[in-house]
Structure 1
Amino acid sequence: MAFHDIRFPAAISFDSLGGPTRRTEIVTLTSGYEQRNTAWAHSRRRYDAGVGLRSLDDVAQLIAFFEARGGQLHAFRWKDWSDYKSCAPSAAISEMDQTLGYGDGATADWPLVKNYVSGEGAYARPITKPVANTVQIAVAGQKLDEGTDYTLNLGLGRVIFASPPAPGAEISAGFEFDVPVRFETDTIQISVSSFRAGQIPSVPLIEVRP
């Protein structure tokens, strides 16, 4: 995957429209009962950046970004303002926000995840594009120091410990993160007169797998 480690202009993405998409296959039996299944282990997010355009300067910035990415060719970072950190939107990030797993005394390389829990259901979302200087890590409730106790692979969203966490020790983390996306079109059509009249162009984006 061709990926440019640059974030789409956050001021434009702030007012954008989008969120997670699932693919569920539903078969209705002759009895009226349903069989439901999914081929996707993870959701895939879609956005429309056009909704966030507020001025012709925004349009110019969008076109420059689009051209520099080669349209659909290169993926990039996107800040989803509705879901961009490990805690609640109103809370401050803490090293205890998300449980990554429990040490086994041998594994030193751990992926960042965000856990979504509701009732008996739960989903662990891989976080592959954490934001630099926002990640906090703890083992057994003890906050660790980056560079001494662990290093980060910001391109893959992985924590590499200097020493594998002890068996049974809870590994937790807090962080901000971006979504890796690409343009879902190779064409952007904008009319200045239409834009001034309030007609917003559609600029679809789609999440890419790392």
Structure 2
Amino acid sequence: MAFHEVRFPDDISRGARGGPVRRTQIVELASGAEERNASWANSRRRYDVAYGIRRADDLAAVVAFFEARNGRLHGFRFRDWADYRSCLPSQVPGPSDQIIGTGDGETTAFQLVKSYTSGAQSWSRIITKPVSGTLRIALDGIEQGNGWSVDPTKGIVGFAVAPAPGVPITAGFEFDVPVRFDTDMLDVTLDLERLGSITSIPLMEIPT
């Protein structure tokens, strides 16, 4: 199975519905109390892009995209318009948005991550599909215009020279979500007035 480095059409993804999904097992005890256990260490995003289809041309584009991916077989990029930046949606990514590591004088490769914090709790999401041309890097708060590169298919930042010990490494970027179709069939309803529609087109994030 392969991953196609192509993004689902943006004009259709803007109308998608969905978001993060977690899986938790809940056991109710005889006492009335309950025990909760996380089945997944990380969340996965699930979307339905059928809501973004507004024209017959949109429908044709989705069918072509589905066929080119062989249904569920091949993954692809998807822009989650509710969460596609290292910063708040209303802001522009800056070089100090996210901490991706601390220099030790030896390590030259660092994985892009995005942290989600509420109160004292925080969860870090691995970012593997940064958008080319949007990445900004800083060492100890000073933006670096060169001396580094990024693998846009894995989200790994590589430095020509290892950052010095104790130096915080930060990054700002836009990113896509690696997903696949969660169905092998598109149920198209033919309509003489709307020229066709699809009731549901589910997408599922591919775990990293």
Cα offsets for 1:66-113 (capped at 9, x unmatched): 111111111000000000000011111100001112111211110000
Secondary structure of 2:60's aligned partner: helix
CA distance in 2 between counterparts of 1:194 and 1:15 reads 23
Give the aligned partner of residue 31 of structure 1: 31
CA drift of 1:9 comes to 0.1
Write the distance in 2 (CA, Å) between the matches of 1:121 and 1:180.
25
- 1:190 pairs with 183, 188, 191, which one? 188
Q: Distance in 2 between matches of 1:11 and 1:195?
A: 22
Q: Which residue of 2 aligns with 1:122?
A: 122
> What runs of 5+ residues in structure 1 fail to find an aligned partner?
none
Equivalent residue, structure 2, for 1:10 = 10
Separation in 2 of the partners of 1:65 and 1:155? 20
How many residues matched?
208
**Stretches of structure 2 lacking an aligned partner (at least 5 in a row):** none
Range with greater deviation from structure 2 (21-30 or 114-123): 21-30
Displacement, 1:35?
1.5
Q: What fraction of aligned residue pairs are identical, expressed as a percent?
A: 51
SS state at 2:188 partner = coil
User: 1:179 is matched by which residue type in structure 2?
Assistant: V
* Cα-to-partner distance string for 1:133-152 (whole Å, 9 max, x where unaligned): 0000111111112xx41111
Could you tell me how far apart the structure 2 residues matched to 1:124 and 1:195 are?
Answer: 47
Task: Provide closer, same or farther for how the CA distance between residues 198 and 62 of structure 1 changes in structure 2, counting only shifts above 3 A.
Answer: closer
How far is the alpha carbon of 1:30 from its aligned partner? 2.1
Aligned to 2:204: 206
> Please, what is the CA RMSD of the aligned residues?
1.6
In the TM superposition, structure 1's runs of 4+ consecutive aligned residues that sit over 3 Å from their partners are 197-200
Partner of 2:22: 22
Provide the residue aligned with 1:150 in structure 2.
148
C-alpha separation in 1, matches of 2:99 and 2:203: 30
Amino acid at match of 2:79: K
SS at match of 2:58: helix
Report matched runs for 1:1-210 at 5 Å. 1-145=1-145, 148-193=146-191, 196=194, 200-210=198-208
Letter in 1 for 2:162: P
Equivalent-residue separation in structure 1 for 2:64 and 2:39 (angstroms): 36
Shift in Å, 1:168: 1.1
Q: 1:56 and 1:199, CA in 2 relative to 1: closer, same or farther beyond 3 A?
A: closer
Question: Relative to structure 1, is the Cα distance of residues 48 and 12 closer, same or farther in structure 2, using a 3 angstrom cutoff?
Answer: same
Structure 1 residues 100-109 or 69-78, which shifts more? 100-109
Instruction: Call closer, same or farther: CA 1:105–1:51 in 2, change over 3 Å.
Output: same
Deviating more after overlay: 30-39 vs 75-84: 30-39
Say which is worse superposed, 188-197 or 122-131, in terms of deviation.
188-197
CA distance in 2, matches of 1:12, 1:195: 20
Letter of the structure 1 residue corresponding to residue 96 of structure 2? M
Distance (whole Å) between structure 2 residues aligned to residue 11 and residue 32 of structure 1: 49
CA distance in 2, matches of 1:29, 1:115: 34
Q: Secondary structure at the match of 1:167?
A: coil
Alpha-carbon distance in 1 for matches of 2:193, 2:4: 29
Give the partner amino acid of 2:154. L
